Structure 1
Amino acid sequence: MSFTDRELQCADCGATFTFSANEQEFFAEKGFTNDPKRCPDCRSARKMERGDRRGPRQMYPAVCAECGIDTEVPFLPKQDRPVYCSQCYNSVGSASRR
């Protein structure tokens, strides 16, 4: 499917903004059926007003199975599964993907 840039009007400030062909393709790939209602500036302002609804992510203490340093991970570690610090995870993960 071919997309072309389209001009839309912002529902908040009334400014005209471009809904680019690339953005339209992204929306289609994600299954979004509605066009954006707000210009990029108003979208950003709205996100800042709302803030992050989830709050800070809970981190759990762990000991890296590779190097033994204390680290934190965003999931509850299980005794039967190894946990790695960021550096070791990148090393071990890239080796297992080869």
Structure 2
Amino acid sequence: MSFGEEREMHTATCGDCGNECQVPFKPKEDRPVYCRECFPNHRPQRRSGDRFGRSRFNRQREMHTATCGDCGNECQVPFKPKEDRPVYCRECFPNHKQTPSV
């Protein structure tokens, strides 16, 4: 079929309302066909989130308690701290950000 060519239409009976309708494919006996008005009721729901259904915006991050390596205050961080690496609180962290070398 080339661009602009008319599609062959097929007559079908809507599986919901029973009205006759035209569809651009040959209906199969084992699958219901829905008219334009009934089709939206059978459209699959869109999944939100990643391919496993998890939303990165709605999930709660697990927070861990740590002790700041500079000021010694207790703080919450969104990762599990390692014993051999210092963790810095929100106030001290900017002092340890590395600037990229050019």
Pick the structure with greater CA Rg. Answer: 2
Relative CO higher for 1 or 2, CA cutoff 8 Å, sep ≥ 6? 1
Whose helix fraction is larger, Structure 1's or Structure 2's? 1
Give the TM bin, normalised by the shorter chain: 0.3 to 0.5
TM-score normalised by the chain length of structure 1:
0.42
